[in-house]
Amino acid sequence: RPGGSAMEGPGDASRAVADWRLAVWTLCSVLLPVLITAWCSFQRSRRQLLIRDIFRKSKHGWHYTDLFGQPSYCCVCAQHILRGAFCGCCGLRVCERCLKKADQRFLCKEIMMRGTAGAPSSMPHHWVRGNVPLCSCCIVCKQQCGTQPKLCDYRCVWCQYTVHDECMVDCLRTEECTFGEFKDLIIPPYYLSAINQMRKEKRASYEKVVPYDRKHWMPVMVLANTRSGNNMGETLLGEFKMLLNPVQVFDLSKIGPAKALQLCTWLPCNTVRVLVCGGDGTVGWVLDAIDEMKIKGQERYIPQVAILPLGTGNDLSNTLGWGAGYAGEVPVEQILRNVMEADGVKLDRWKVQVTNKGYYNLRKPKVFTMNNYFSVGPDALMALNFHAHREKTPSLFSSRIINKAVYFFYGTKDCLVQECKDLNKKVELELDGERIELPNLEGIIVLNIGYWGGGCRLWEGMGDEPYPLARHDDGLLEVVGVHGSFHCAQIQVKLANPVRLGQAHTVRLILKSSKMPMQVDGEPWAQGPCTVTITHKTHALMLYHSGEQTDDDDASSLSE
């Protein structure tokens, strides 16, 4: 019908236009957010690349944070900032827009003075404006600094002195820096410059270089394992770099201890102190590197070792009075004071040789160095299961609490399964060549130190029997037996005593049959028939801090 078609035509056209408009608007409403998101993502990626490029080329130790932990102001534009970059060495804080300007305008801490004629024996203050520590006082008027809500007041990055804007005078800008409270721990940049020049000239008479000749100078090196325990190593690295010369602070995930310890050869003999931030495994790694220094003929440069416990067990740290674990409760300034005040002691180190049985065994014996303890039985099984679980999913084991919970789980499981029962029928034990008749046991533990199992004094047990205290410097090992995982738990809460098998200078253990879990200082493995021989290897020079000892220690356990 021609008439009907002509009447319906305009309505169809208007509906078609409306449909097209709806489709266009729908498309725009979908595409526009996508395009905006893509554009923002592109700009963010571009900005991050630029920031990373500045970080990579800069002499500052820049780090980026999404939220500063205290009120902060940009050192360039002086605006209040919530996020941005900060230097872990000199403490500068800056917003993203001003990062490049700040990097070009401000100098960071110099680890070594350059371009100076002669051999300087001093240096001026290095002042940084703004963001001074809370509760700091002006060295001129003794009033609190940093109280105004703006970029104000100054701080010296070396001596940590602070001064008000209005108290800052020209003489302070050029005044010689004393390096403050920790002058006896800091390696001054001018010292490294002088030693570097003398090495180039092949001169070895360092005695006249300041502060080499200073009586109480005991430079400290900080070796931190950022992967230990509760992942506090990264934060500690920055805090120690703020207080010391950054050249004294090493990240063991980037540089090994053997290379880091070569700095000791630039410093006075028998004066260097090393603070190891990590677990007992990290301490063992550093002590192995120190043994390598002895082999190289660098024995006179051997440092004394203190511990900041970041691991899970921390039994060696506990034995030496540094505590069972660090979670940031003590400021780094107090940690450095503790290192200065600590006393030198010796630690026995032992050689553990594992020789496989068999007439046709051509493999070399496995050799370990033991600082803490050796064991065969349920605690080694727990460590082996824990280690296997951590290898599969390392991201889960970033907390000391989680690690201990996993240990508890495997300990409870072993109480039910008893995989190590009848150990006394599978092994023979000799102490100083004398065979020991074993009672019914599931595990044997050979101790060098007082603590075991994350804070338990295993040899003393409940403390109700008159046994001599375990010492870490007497050349003797304490050997005990346990009846199982439940017995271990009872000993840890002082509800039971271990089976004391004796003390000896040499321990020999023969595994006659089957495969059993073994461990040395928390490093476990499954071992077939073999002979394990433990003999004295050497001494390590350690530092003992009397203020952090836990449980009921006795002062007589230390060497005088």
- Check whether residue 127 and residue 190 sit in a common domain: no
Nearest to 445 by CA among 512, 510, 377: 377
φ, ψ of residue 143 to 5 degrees: the values are: -95, 160
Average pLDDT over residues 44-63: 86
Q: Which residues partner with 370 through β-bridges?
A: 350
- Check whether residue 328 and residue 307 sit in a common domain: yes
Instruction: Please report the pLDDT score of residue 554 as a whole number.
Output: 42
Give a yes or no: residue 35 inside a domain. Answer: no
Q: Which residues contact 534 (CB under 8 A, 6 or more apart)?
A: 350, 351, 352, 353, 370, 374, 446, 477, 506, 507, 508
- Check whether residue 176 and residue 191 sit in a common domain: no
Instruction: Please report the pLDDT score of residue 319 as a whole number.
Output: 92
| Across 15-29, 146-160, 234-248, 399-413, least confident range | 399-413
Cα–Cα distance measured from residue 224 to residue 16, given in angstroms and rounded to the nearest whole number? 71
User: Strand 84-87 vs strand 62-65: parallel, antiparallel, or unpaired?
Assistant: antiparallel
Give the CATH number, domain containing residue 481. 2.60.200.40
pLDDT in tens, 314-353: 899 999 999 888 888 899 999 999 999 999 999 999 999 9
Q: Which residues contact 547 (CB under 8 A, 6 or more apart)?
A: 321, 338
Q: Over 140-178, what HEC string results?
A: CCCCECCCCCCCCCEEECCCCCEECCCCCCHHHHHCECC
Average pLDDT over residues 394-409: 62
Cα–Cα distance measured from residue 187 to residue 476, given in angstroms and rounded to the nearest whole number? 39
Instruction: Please report the pLDDT score of residue 414 as a whole number.
Output: 54
Residue 438, helix vs strand vs coil: coil
Instruction: Read off the pLDDT band of 130 (50, 70, 90).
Output: very high
Cis peptide before 219 (omega within 30 of 0): no
Q: Which domain holds residue 136?
A: 123-180
Instruction: Please report the pLDDT score of residue 550 as a whole number.
Output: 45
Give a yes or no: residue 383 inside a domain. Answer: yes
Cα–Cα distance measured from residue 305 to residue 321, given in angstroms and rounded to the nearest whole number? 13
pLDDT in tens, 523-545: 889 999 999 999 999 999 999 99
Percent of the chain residues past pLDDT 70, beyond the cut: 86
Cα–Cα distance measured from residue 69 to residue 74, given in angstroms and rounded to the nearest whole number? 14
Instruction: Please report the pLDDT score of residue 101 as a whole number.
Output: 92
Give a yes or no: residue 16 inside a domain. Answer: no
pLDDT in tens, 176-203: 899 999 999 999 998 888 888 888 877 7
Count of residues making up the chain: 560
Residue 556 clears pLDDT 90, i.e. is over it = no
Rg over alpha carbons for the chain, rounded to the nearest Å, is 31
- Check whether residue 354 and residue 486 sit in a common domain: yes
Cα–Cα distance measured from residue 505 to residue 436, given in angstroms and rounded to the nearest whole number? 15
- Check whether residue 418 and residue 331 sit in a common domain: no
Instruction: Read off the pLDDT band of 467 (50, 70, 90).
Output: confident
Instruction: Please report the pLDDT score of residue 324 as a whole number.
Output: 85
Q: What is the mean pLDDT of the chain?
A: 85
**pTM greater than 0.95 (yes/no):** no
Collect contacts of 491-497 with beta carbons under 8 A, ≥24 apart: 491/456, 491/458, 491/461, 492/453, 492/454, 492/455, 492/456, 494/461, 494/462, 494/463, 495/462, 496/461, 496/462, 497/461, 497/462, 497/464, 497/465
Instruction: Read off the pLDDT band of 129 (50, 70, 90).
Output: very high
Instruction: Please report the pLDDT score of residue 542 as a whole number.
Output: 96
Instruction: Read off the pLDDT band of 213 (50, 70, 90).
Output: low
Q: Are 523 and 433 in contact (CB under 8 A)?
A: no
Percent of the chain residues past pLDDT 90, beyond the cut: 46
Give a yes or no: residue 452 inside a domain. Answer: yes
Residue 404 clears pLDDT 70, i.e. is over it = no
- Check whether residue 374 and residue 290 sit in a common domain: no
pLDDT in tens, 250-300: 999 999 999 999 999 888 888 999 999 998 889 999 999 999 999 999 999
| Across 1-15, 200-214, 289-303, least confident range | 1-15
302 or 214, higher pLDDT = 302
Tell me which residue has tokens 């009872």: 490
Average pLDDT over residues 221-249: 88
Instruction: Read off the pLDDT band of 147 (50, 70, 90).
Output: confident
Residue 555 clears pLDDT 50, i.e. is over it = no
508 or 169, higher pLDDT = 508
Give a yes or no: residue 554 inside a domain. Answer: no
* Side chain identity, residue 14: S
* Side chain identity, residue 185: L
- Check whether residue 355 and residue 491 sit in a common domain: yes
Give the CATH number, domain containing residue 308. 3.40.50
Q: Over 442-470, what HEC string results?
A: CEEEEECCCCECCCECCCCCCCCCCCCCC
pLDDT in tens, 476-489: 999 999 988 888 88
Instruction: Please report the pLDDT score of residue 347 as a whole number.
Output: 96
- Check whether residue 249 and residue 331 sit in a common domain: yes
Query: H or E stretch including 427?
Result: strand 427-431
Average pLDDT over residues 297-308: 93
Q: What is 66-101 written as a DSSP string?
A: SS-SS-EE-TTT--EESSEEEETTT--EE-STTHHH
Q: How many domains, the chain? A: 4
Residue 220 clears pLDDT 90, i.e. is over it = yes
- Check whether residue 398 and residue 273 sit in a common domain: no
- Check whether residue 236 and residue 173 sit in a common domain: no
- Check whether residue 80 and residue 52 sit in a common domain: yes
What distances in angstroms separate CA 559 from CA 110, 317, 361, 472, one per listed residue? Answer: 40, 16, 43, 9
Instruction: Read off the pLDDT band of 520 (50, 70, 90).
Output: very high
Of 288, 307, 341, the one marking the end of a domain is 341
Cα–Cα distance measured from residue 394 to residue 481, given in angstroms and rounded to the nearest whole number? 32
Q: Are 514 and 530 in contact (CB under 8 A)?
A: no
- Check whether residue 439 and residue 450 sit in a common domain: yes
Instruction: Read off the pLDDT band of 90 (50, 70, 90).
Output: very high
Instruction: Read off the pLDDT band of 3 (50, 70, 90).
Output: very low
Instruction: Read off the pLDDT band of 560 (50, 70, 90).
Output: very low
Give a yes or no: residue 61 inside a domain. Answer: yes
Instruction: Please report the pLDDT score of residue 106 as a whole number.
Output: 93
Give a yes or no: residue 96 inside a domain. Answer: yes
Give the CATH number, domain containing residue 141. 3.30.60.20
Give a yes or no: residue 147 inside a domain. Answer: yes
